[in-house]
Amino acid sequence: MSGEIAFTNTALESFAALVTFVLLFACIAKIKMQRGIKHVTSKNAKRNTLDYILIIWLVIHMIVLTADVLSWTAMDFGKNEVWLLFMLNLTFTCLFLECMVYTYYVKETIYQHEMIGNTYVYLVMLSTVIAIILWITSDISGKFYYLDTQGNYTQGSMYWLCQFYCIIVMCGNIVILLKHRKALVRHDVLSLLMYGLIPIASIPAQMLWKSTTFNLATTLALIYICISVHMAQYDRIVEQEKLLIQQEHELSMNQMQMMIAQIQPHFLYNSLTALAQLCSKDPKEAKKAIINFADYWRNHINAIDKKESIPFEEELKYVKIYLYLEQLRFGDDLHVEYDLQKTDFKVPMLSVQPFVENAINWGVGQKEDGGTVRITTRENEEQIELCVIDDGVGFDTSKMEEQSDGRQHIGVRNARIRFQKMCNGTVDIYSEKGKGTKIRINLPKGGQS
């Protein structure tokens, strides 16, 4: 019968040791993966501490299982008393240490969420040292175990204290977990409670049938803890990805607002410059232009904070106001034509005006006898084409986004980015010196928002 028990215990604990090794490998791989993440918050650092404790926990548990397997082998086959004593001492020493690591893991888990003292941890550490000393010296006293005259391992009269020690430590951890449960994540509470409850439930069976149910129960509980840890990590990754997407969206919208904020004073500056020049040339027309300009800002000032795209017809109003002011400045040197076959689509706010401005300042405005700016729209099966065309002097497209003072042309650059981000659109610029420039904005129908 004892041979059958030894064989069964050896087989079960060998399998448990293999499972523990797999868990240990998975935890080490998890930590190596986390090392590749450059940004580490204080919360992540605390979580990494728990991961290291869990690895130590698994190593100790694997030693317990391996040493116990070798103890059963020595009892059933070898009858080597020195080897058997060494394995027994190693098994129970690591078993006591495992209870201590469990306590420390519980304390660190709680510490992630709220402050907790170290008093109970210190008490467990002290009792662990005492338990280890008593167990090792039991070879002399025979209180916990002894080897009979035939070299067989026999439980002593105080062997139950070993189990009692484990029960007390685990019950203490259960009480602490329940006390702080409101501050903890639910899966942490459940997994750590299972480590205390499952082994406690297995102790009567171990004492009655001399089986290894306690070690197997702790293995089962560790599996649950490891699964819980990895599931928690997956949940954190999903949460972080959602948060990252949200932050990227907010950043993108903030960038859009900044770009609009940059364009507004730029547009205002050019408009006021045109008005100032008109005041000396034609005061009556300037008065009319100022009234129209004031009405324009009064009617549209509330639209400045818009984050979404606006109807093209609304954007066209901005463009026509700007062109009206520029025509007052340039007079007959600036002609404007419209060929709008499609108007029911959306564009980012103040996104067309920068290209019209570019057509005037870099195109017809540089030509001695002026020229014409044409705005056209076309529709095909896949997209809407919005074009701003001028017959001005043309230019080198590679230098299009630089002004004469070396600064980037804010309006054009921002308009490009906003068309891409808000409408999934593209901007193509074709220019030839002496002939003019064509700016084609391609807006996919599926990208309209």
- pLDDT tens digits, one per residue of 104-140: 999 988 888 888 888 989 999 999 999 899 888 887 7
User: Pick from 67, 92, 84, 86: which is nearest to 150 by CA?
Assistant: 84
Please state, in angstroms and rounded to a whole number, the distance separating the CA atoms of residues 62 and 60: 5
The pLDDT, as a whole number, for residue 442 is 95
Name the band, by pLDDT with cuts 50, 70 and 90, for residue 85: confident
The pLDDT, as a whole number, for residue 272 is 81
- pLDDT tens digits, one per residue of 169-216: 989 999 999 999 888 888 888 888 988 888 888 877 766 666 677 888
- pLDDT tens digits, one per residue of 312-359: 998 898 788 888 878 877 888 999 999 999 999 999 877 898 899 889
Instruction: Looking at mean pLDDT, say which of 148-152, 235-239, 302-306 comes out highest.
Output: 235-239
Q: What angle do CA 316, 317, 320 make, to 5 degrees?
A: 85
Residue, of 93 and 252, whose pLDDT is higher? 93
SS3 sequence of the chain: CHHHHHHHHHHHHHHHHHHHHHHHHHHHHHHHHHHCCCCCCHHHHHHHHHHHHHHHHHHHHHHHHHHHHHHHHHHHHHCCHHHHHHHHHHHHHHHHHHHHHHHHHHHHHHHCCCCCCCHHHHHHHHHHHHHHHHHHCHHHHCCCEEECCCCCEEECCCCHHHHHHHHHHHHHHHHHHHHCHHHCCHHHHHHHHHHHHHHHHHHHHHHHHCCCHHHHHHHHHHHHHHHHHHHHHHHHHHHHHHHHHHHHHHHHHHHHHHHHHHHHHHHHHHHHHHHHHHHHHCHHHHHHHHHHHHHHHHHHHHHCCCCCCEEHHHHHHHHHHHHHHHHHHHHHHEEEEEEECCCCCEECCCCCHHHHHHHHHCCHHHCCCCEEEEEEEEECCCEEEEEEEECCCCCCHHHCCECCCCCECHHHHHHHHHHHHHHCCEEEEEEECCCEEEEEEEEEHHHCC
Average pLDDT over the chain, rounded to an integer: 81
Give residue limits of the domains in the chain: 2-245, 282-447
Instruction: Looking at mean pLDDT, say which of 222-231, 246-255, 283-292, 385-394 comes out highest.
Output: 385-394
The pLDDT, as a whole number, for residue 443 is 94
Q: Measured in Å, how far apart are the chain's first and last C-alpha atoms?
A: 78
> How much is the average pLDDT of 288-317?
75
| pTM for the full predicted model | 0.55
Provide the residue type at 223 as one letter.
I
The pLDDT, as a whole number, for residue 421 is 83
Please state, in angstroms and rounded to a whole number, the distance separating the CA atoms of residues 54 and 337: 74
Which neighbouring-strand residues pair with 231? none
Q: What angle do CA 93, 94, 97 make, to 5 degrees?
A: 95
> How much is the average pLDDT of 136-164?
78
Name the band, by pLDDT with cuts 50, 70 and 90, for residue 40: very low
The pLDDT, as a whole number, for residue 287 is 86
- Residue 402 half-sphere exposure, CB side, CA atoms within 13 Å? 8
Quick one: CA dihedral 442, 444, 445, 448, positive or negative?
negative
pLDDT over 70, % of the chain: 81
Q: Determine whether domain 2-245 maps to CATH 1.20.1070.
A: yes
Instruction: Looking at mean pLDDT, say which of 160-164, 202-206, 225-229, 386-390 comes out highest.
Output: 386-390
The pLDDT, as a whole number, for residue 1 is 41
Q: Determine whether domain 282-447 maps to CATH 3.30.565.10.
A: yes
Please state, in angstroms and rounded to a whole number, the distance separating the CA atoms of residues 404 and 394: 15
In the block, residue with structure tokens 């928690």: 232
- pLDDT tens digits, one per residue of 45-72: 556 788 889 999 999 999 999 998 888 7
Please state, in angstroms and rounded to a whole number, the distance separating the CA atoms of residues 268 and 297: 10
